[in-house]
Structure formats: C-alpha cells, structure tokens
Structure 1
C-alpha cells in the first residue's frame, strides 16, 4: 500500500524531495527549525547524528509516550 505524506513544513527546503532513507540519514538540521548549532549540540550531548537516531533515541521516545498519555490517566 502506498502512503503519501506532505512533510514540506517539517523539513528544510533542500530535503522536501528526498527519499525517506535520505531524510532519516540526514542531520537533524534537515528538520525545519533545527539549526546546525543545535544539531551539533545533539551530537555532542547525546551522540545523535541523524534524524533516525533522533527519532529512535530512548529519551525522546519516553518523552513522546508521556506526552501522549497526558490526560489519559487517572
């Protein structure tokens, strides 16, 4: 099944027409609003060099789950 997603607002212009693999292998600076300086800090502090690593980082994953659970617990 083919899936189409518009990521134009989520990515820097240079990455809008790239494949998913190219985007995941790119620096977090390829995300709209993430600067090269911020990407460098992610690498220095957490060893995150790619969008794939950012998305699969255990700290960010736990934070995402906690936000998703907000308001859904007793």
Structure 2
C-alpha cells in the first residue's frame, strides 16, 4: 500500500529535502509545531529523542489504536 504525506504540514522547512530515514533520525522538534522546549520535555518525560522513536513509542501507538477504535464506532 502506497502512503503519501504533505511534508510541509508535518516537518519544519529545514527537513523538507531530507530522506524519510533522515527525518526519522531527526530530533522530535523537527516536527512542525514542536518547539525546542517541547522536544526537551518529550525527551525528559519519555526518553524519546527522535521522530522515529516517537512514532514507534508504545504509549503513542496504544493511544492511536484507542482513538482509531473510538473513531470507528
């Protein structure tokens, strides 16, 4: 299944020309809307350093699954 995304809405401008792996390896504050301080808080609270770690985090995956179940009902 092909997946597409509008990266301009997802990551900071500095990451628009990066590969998906470079984006996954980037710090969480490379996500659009996440400040440097927000990235610091995420690292401190969850030990998550990169976008890839955030996307694979068990708590975020569980929350996303629960939200999808709620949206489907």
* Superposition TM-score, scaled by structure 1 size: 0.88
RMSD: 1.9
Runs (4 or more) in structure 1 with deviation over 3 Å come to: 1-5
CA distance in 2, matches of 1:71, 1:4: 21
More helix by share: 2
Structure 2: stretches of 5+ with no match in the other structure: none
What residue is the counterpart of 1:38 in the other structure? Answer: 38
* Superposition TM-score, scaled by structure 2 size: 0.89
CA distance in 1, matches of 2:51, 2:71: 29
Instruction: Give matches, 1:17-56, under 5 Å.
Output: 17-56=17-56
What residue is the counterpart of 2:16 in the other structure? Answer: 16
